[in-house]
Amino acid sequence: MASIRELYEKVCALTGVPQEKAHIWDYFDKRKNGLLDSLSYKSLEESSLHMDQDILLEVDGSSSSQSAMSSTGNELALVPLEPSRSSVTIAGGPTLSNGHSTTSNFSLFPRITSEDDGSNSLSILGKGENGGLAGLSNLGNTCFMNSALQCLAHTPPIVEYFLQDCSDDINRDNPLGMCGELAIAFGDLLKKLWSSGRNSVAPRAFKTKLARFAPQFSGYNQHDSQELLAFLLDGLHEDLNKVKRKPYIELKDSDSRPDDEVAEELWNYHKARNDSVIVDVCQGQYKSTLVCPACGKISITFDPFMYLSVPLPSTLTRSMTVTVFYCDGSHLPMPYTVIVPKNGSIRDLITALGTACLLAEDESLLLAEVYDHKIFKYFENPLDSLSSIKDDEHIVAYRLNQMPKGSGKAKLEILHGGQKRPILESVRGRDVKLFGTPFVTYVNTEPLSGADIDAVISRFLSPLHKVHAPSKIHNGSENGHLPDATVDEASEILSSPDTEIDDASDRELSFRIFLTDERGLNFKPLQSESSISLGIATRVLVEWNEGEHERYDSSYLSDLPEVHKTSFSAKKTRQESISLFSCLEAFLAEEPLGPDDMWFCPSCKEHRQANKKLDLWKLPDILVFHLKRFTYSRYLKNKIDTFVNFPVHDLDLSKYVKNKNDQSYLYELYAVSNHYGGLGGGHYTAYAKLIDDNEWYHFDDSHVSSVNESEIKNSAAYVLFYRRVRSETETQTVEMSTDMD
């Protein structure tokens, strides 16, 4: 393609304007969009100049003489455009003007006559020369738009419809539409893409209309091809809706009538208000069932759909590892890995953990985050979202006996510390070095003695006893100690859930224990007979010296796993196992509604977190799958590059359709919108199949190339387009219907 420098030379030669007096502007849509540099070697396409657009020539000084010229072949043809303004045009496009009201319009591309511009004889479905193989120029981060447009431009029933005269179907008065302008602009673009002799088309006129009616797509920022597709299909439907005035139809109560009767009634109601080629070709119907968790009320509705947005199974669930501490000293701390809903609640995690660790009916789990060897946060609201827990955090669950009803309870936090100097000699705790995982339990709000707390600590630590530990248990002071006891006897006493913590009030403490504040800066030593009034949470610190480390294996307190840590090999295995069928099954699976999406139960008269189940009821001829690769949460935005294995041929959906009839439920792939790169950027392309020659092509903006069918399946696939493969009976029925028409 010619450069900007060559453009100046050609235009000045044709108009007789000295090059030093010429200024050429990008004049698309009759506006100055940018002055072109006369010395630039940039190509016309790199400068966003495309076939059929205008450029503007401004000439310094007096107006130049201009003449009409004609030429053939690949040379430019000049024809008078506005003789009163001394203007000329070059057939097919770009525009120029001079500083003294002299305007000239020029095309920089080979001359195209009315016979070969595709206006009278269009190449439909690949039968003509290059029909359907034109690229779309990138106007500046418009690859998302080009990808979606190429997929629709290779959807056979849509192409056939727009390449015929559909002007009678344009609904210019629909308040939900765009005065028919979007449909007209889309139809004009399709005619250019399917006319012979074109290598690429600049969709600037279409983008201008799009930006006018959908400001979110204005400018030159990257957007989502599926979001554009959703808007475009809905907009085309409203512009082509044959229903000029939508009737009001009062919906009947289902009254326990058969599903097929209710579904057909609602579909006819939908068609009475929405009748377009888009509905006929692209819309299906699914059944939605809601069940109230409180009263069991069942609500069934049937709704239309334009496409299926299916999740990737790996994005529906989450693997979480939590370490359980047994407060009765019956077991060592034990990590459990459970699978929970990714958008689930704290209740889901506690339920899964309770099942994994065989939680008894009279027990409960207290969930907490440990950071810097202290309790950073408790998770006590069962409705809180799991999204607040990140994969690199350390979560513990304390297995507790339920407190008697009516009794007050308070948390007792037990921290572990060790330092070079005794704690009492440290300066406001600066020399205290915490380690390990705190112990937490509930205790009565009645005052506790130092001996009571000592018994709680001993109970926690009993499973950590080393087999060959010394028989004496020292309190860390010079004279204080307990009577000799075997490890087995000590373990039996300390691990017994029936042991009362106040039984040991008459003995000396096993450990050096200090009452401390929330920040761990102040310490008060506890004696056996010390009395502590408990608040909502009371913190004490156990001083570990050499003796304690000899008797107990403190590694169990320190080795806390992260919530989730995925190895490369595990990730690869999961990716290889995901199929389109598993995505569809995840979409159709029963799941509870989110806390922010609760359903109003007509029986309870309250909003409930109901269970929702979807079923496919009626499938369209063109079935679109949107793979939900982009995930968003309060804390994280991510793109999943998981490879989804999808069929190119013989996609059989018969087992997923609840209302079976004589239709075929076999589909074949004909187009794919691809996304490469990360969230918020990347690049979009499209694969599309020319049905008549049975060949696949890669559409990368203005570049089009043939590809092998084996290349279509890759991890960039984002939106999949399938068409129904009709049975012989269906084909004969359609042909007979066409002949009768």
Helix, strand or coil for residue 448? strand
The DSSP element (H or E) to which 7 belongs, if any, is helix 4-15
φ, ψ for residue 135, nearest 5 deg: -85, 175
Cα–Cα distance, 178 to 212 (Å, whole number): 9
Q: Out of 270, 481, 564, 683, which one is annotated catalytic?
A: 683
Q: Which long-range contacts (CB under 8 A, 24 or more apart) does 170-173 make?
A: 170/239, 170/240, 171/238, 171/239, 171/240, 171/241, 171/242, 171/244, 173/244
Choose among 285, 281, 279: nearest CA to 302: 285
Beta bridge partners of 88: 80
> In angstroms, rounded to a whole number, what is the distance separating the alpha carbons of residues 228 and 216?
10
Which pair of structure tokens corresponds to residue 657? 């359709």
CA-CA distance, 302 to 289, in Å (whole number)?
9
Q: At what angle do helices 204-213 and 143-152 cross, to 10 degrees?
A: 100
| 295 catalytically annotated | no
Dig out the tokens for 163 from the structure.
């390449």
Q: Please give the helix or strand (H or E) that residue 737 lies within, else none.
A: helix 728-740
C-alpha to C-alpha distance for 583 and 580, rounded to whole angstroms: 5
Helices of type H across 52-200: 143-152, 156-163, 181-193
Provide CB contacts within 8 A for 725, sequence distance 6+. 650, 664, 666, 667, 668
Rounded Cα distance, 347 and 363, in Å? 15
Q: Which SS3 state, helix, strand or coil, does residue 569 take?
A: helix
Q: How many CA atoms are closer than 13 Å to the CA of 375, on its beta-carbon side?
A: 25
- Residues written for the chain: 741
Full 3-state SS string of 186-214? HHHHHHHHCCCCCCEECCHHHHHHHHHHC
Q: Cα 618 to chain center, whole Å?
A: 26
Q: Are 659 and 266 in contact (CB under 8 A)?
A: no
Catalytic member of 12, 23, 143, 465: 143
Pairing of strands 523-525, 622-628: unpaired
Q: What residues have CB less than 8 Å from 349, skipping those under 6 apart? A: 320, 322, 338, 340, 367, 386
Q: What is the three-class DSSP state of 80?
A: strand
Query: Which residues, including other chains, have CB under 8 Å from residue 568's CB and lie 6 or more apart?
Result: none
The yes-or-no answer on residue 154 being catalytic is no
* Intra-chain end-to-end CA distance of the chain, in Å: 48
* Strand, coil or helix: 12: helix
Catalytic residues: 143, 683
